[in-house]
Structure 1
Amino acid sequence: MTDELPAPSIRVPCVARRNDAASDSFRVIPEETPIAFTYGGSTHAVMMATPADLEDFSLGFALTEGLIDSADEAGEFEIVSSDAGIELRSWLAGGRQEAYAARKRSMAGPTGCGLCGIESLEQASRPLPVLDNALRVPAVALIAAMDRLPGAQPLNRETRAVHAAAFWAPGDDALIVREDVGRHNALDKLAGALARQGVSAAQGVVLMTSRVSVELVQKAARIGAPVIAAVSAPTALAVRTAEKCGVTLVAVVRGRDFEIFTHPERILEQVSSHVA
């Protein structure tokens, strides 16, 4: 049973200073809500997130965190809203719930970053699949896809305060887009949307409106996405991780310019390497 959910954005009053004068005004801002992921009655993580696309969020989180390997293992699902926040209740199918019970834990994750549901430093760098994918992406097509992304972000047009994660397949102008106040939340929602729609991440590119930190590379690798491209720079650990797991990392995509940090062979028509 699902109670009424909060809206993903709200209109709030403010005092705006414009041209050296102050006046009463308003702004549309994104909602930020505690969202708990529970499996078989045990809380796994609590994330601060935008209350939208919650079924995608639940499925994508389970996939990118390695709790399940496919949508078929997601099992039963329920959304429960209260004054305290939202619970995404799942009962994993088959032996997945039993396997989860053996490693259950409870932790809270902040909006900006975080590796969820880990018990040790070693688990923070748990093994990732190594992608040996023959996808090739024309540079001009990648630039065009990134140019289309702002127009596919309705919540950000309203608020100017949320991230987006999108999926684009070469040869197709369509973008599948999910938005959230947290960049990793947006990618989880995108992963769930792809799984629910039966779209293989191996056939295209993940586009991000944020910097690329290590958890974004990890999540992209777990859903089999061979290329991740973003408007801002990566962290050093993100680059090392992408190199190790076979992900092409393209960043600082601004206009017609970008930088390729790992596995550049997937990007066609690229500029030759600079020799100092």
Structure 2
Amino acid sequence: MSTLLPLATQAGSTACRPVASTRWRYEAETCVARDTEIAVEWPVNIRYGSVPYAVMMATPLDLEDFVTGFSLTEGIIADASEIRAIRISDEPEAISVDVELAPGRFRQHLGRQRRLTGRTSCGVCGVEDASQLPRAERRSATRTPVAAEAVARAVGDLRAHQPLYARTRAVHGAAWCDREGRILMAREDVGRHNALDKLIGAVLRAGEAATGGFVVVTSRASYEMVEKTAMLGAAALVSVSAPTSLAVSRARAAGLMLVSVAREDGCEVFSGELTR
């Protein structure tokens, strides 16, 4: 029989694991004992200069990308070069990620520390006042236009870049695409915000020119997904599911194209204009 809660070391080495379950088939009136692969969800303790900042429930995969993107979208860094080192270690009940920043960088951010555990479904846990909600600081006028056929191509190819989803059916994905809709990199996580932060971190660490590409996510487009994408400087956010009202207004204010309910045969544009 498989173990549901292995050592943290094992959690950090894999993104999914087999768990004992029973498969029922109603019409056939049968049940079969089996091992089912499920996605790993594990506490990730993020510390800056040994100062605890947040505990995020995440899939322990691509953690260097995760903390880099998380640091940007939290407003702690402005560029990946401001991170001096990332150290990952296993503890009995969590994985700890210690981030060493450029001198003085974290002290500038001490006024807004998270004070709650970051759940996988929540993007603003620990924010104590509405004025502290994440907001992209700059409106970019240099973003590359996005064509309808590029969106269709990216959405059509997305599943092929989600190996963890194919095994577990339990994770979200975020993909980075060039102007032709080719998927250049993708990241997955049980949390949609985490998947996007991982992708943003990967783009930053790779030194990609963010204004020349766009982001596709498997989730809905909520306001914080818009803000994260705008902070990256991408041309557009494309979501498989629908947007929220605040997401639309924030996308328009930031000059970010927002395309939602995206399928291979069509989509809805809520901010900006697709080119033909």
TM-score (norm 2): 0.91
| Counterpart position of 1:243 | 252
SS of equivalent to 1:268: coil
What amino acid does structure 2 have at the position aligned with 1:151? A
Distance 1:221 1:258 in 2: 20
Residue number among 112, 124, 131 corresponding to 1:122 in the alignment: 131
Between the aligned partners of 2:255 and 2:136, the Cα distance in structure 1 is 13
Match of 1:12 in 2: 19
Given candidates 97, 115, 118, the residue that maps to 1:88 is 97
**Amino acid of the residue matched to residue 73 of structure 1?**
E
Q: Show the counterpart of 2:187.
A: 178
Partner of 2:209: 200
CA RMSD of aligned residues (A): 1.8
Q: Name the aligned partner's letter for residue 23 of structure 2.
A: A
**Structure 1: how far apart are the matches of 2:134 and 2:111?**
20
Identity of aligned residues (%): 40
Residue number in structure 2 paired with 1:63 = 72
Query: Does the 8 Å contact 1:56/1:192 carry over to 2?
Result: yes
- CA–CA distance in structure 1, aligned partners of residues 125 and 234 of structure 2: 20
Structure 1 position 233 matched with structure 2 position 226: no
- Cα distance change of structure 1 residues 156 and 240 upon mapping to structure 2, 3 Å threshold: same
Match of 1:252 in 2: 261
Question: Does the CA-based 8 Å contact 1:65-1:116 persist in structure 2?
Answer: no
Question: How far off is 1:127 after superposition?
Answer: 5.3
* Residue 34 of structure 2 is aligned to residue 43 of structure 1: no
Aligned to 2:61: 52
Residue equivalent to 2:144? 135
CA distance in 1 between partners of 2:16 and 2:23 (Å): 19
What is the alpha-carbon distance in structure 1 between the residues aligned to residue 203 and residue 136 of structure 2?
23
**CA distance 1:12–1:3, change in 2 (3 Å):** closer
Distance 1:219 1:197 in 2: 18
Post-superposition offset of 1:101 = 4.0
What is residue 272 of structure 1 aligned with on the other side? none
The answer to whether the 8 Å contact 1:10/1:28 transfers is yes
Q: Aligned partners of 1:69 and 1:26: how far apart in 2?
A: 44
Structure 2 stretches lacking a partner, 5+ long: 1-7
Any idea what the Cα deviations from partners look like across 1:86-113, whole Å, max 9, x if unmatched? 1111121133033234554532111112
Aligned-residue offset at 1:228: 0.3
- Cα deviations by residue, 1:190-229 (Å, 9 ceiling, x for unpaired): 0111111111221111000011111100100111112000
Shift of 1:82: 1.3
* Number of residue pairs matched by the alignment: 266
Secondary structure of the residue aligned to 2:129 is coil
- Secondary structure of the structure 2 residue equivalent to 1:110: coil
Structure-1 separation of matches of 2:136 and 2:192? 22
Query: Do the aligned partners of residues 96 and 126 (structure 1) sit closer, same or farther apart at CA in structure 2, a change above 3 Å counting?
Result: same
What SS is found at the alignment partner of 2:242? Answer: coil
The superposition leaves residues 72-91 of structure 1 with CA deviations (integer Å, 9 ceiling, x where unpaired) of: 10122211111211111112
Instruction: Indicate the SS of the match to 2:142.
Output: coil
Per the normalisation by structure 1, the TM-score is 0.91
Residue 228 of structure 2 corresponds to which residue in structure 1?
Answer: 219
Greater CA drift, 107-116 or 29-38: 107-116
